[in-house]
Amino acid sequence: MVSIIAISITRKLGLNILILSGDLILIFTFVVLGAIAHKYIDFMQIVIRNFISFGLSWMLIAGSLVAFPSSNLLTIKKILLFIPLMIVFSSLVAIFVRALIFGTEFIWTFYLVAIGVQILMIVIWRLLFLYICKYSI
């Protein structure tokens, strides 16, 4: 009985770490593509500044609320409901953190593009993950 519980806990933790890693890779990809598209001169500064604010706020806000627990990962309805809401909220916090810590201005177009692209990327990733989990068991 104890070993079954331990396996269940380990599996859930492994799923959460895998999901978090995938989310952070996608946020990093978004930041890098944005820096490349805008041809920033100080590429590393832009990447670090944006990834720290977006990645940290995603981990803290979405992770502490509903985005990572395994029970919220394995239905299409929950993915389509919770992930966009958490991205909107964590992106807003990230923009303000970025402005506060790094002294950048608040730009609505950047905020809207960041939200839209991250919702698209992370929802697709989560749905793909759901599909793989459902059909590989």
Domain ranges of the chain: 2-136
Mention every residue, 6+ apart, whose C-beta is less than 8 A from residue 63.
Answer: 20
pLDDT value, residue 119: 92
CB-based burial label for 92 (10 Å; 0-12, 13-18, 19+): middle
Q: How many Cβ atoms sit within 10 Å of the Cβ of residue 2? A: 6
Render pLDDT for 43-58 as a digit per residue (tens, 0 to 9).
777 788 888 888 888 8
Q: What are the residue ranges of helices labelled H in 38-107?
A: 43-57, 63-64, 76-102
- Each residue of 83-121: pLDDT tens digit? 888 888 888 888 888 888 888 887 788 888 888 999 999
Looking at residue 2, its pLDDT comes to 40
pLDDT at 39 over 80: no
Q: Is 104 helix (H, G, I), strand (E, B) or coil?
A: coil
Tokens encoding 109? 């177009």
**Local structure of 88: helix, strand or coil:** helix
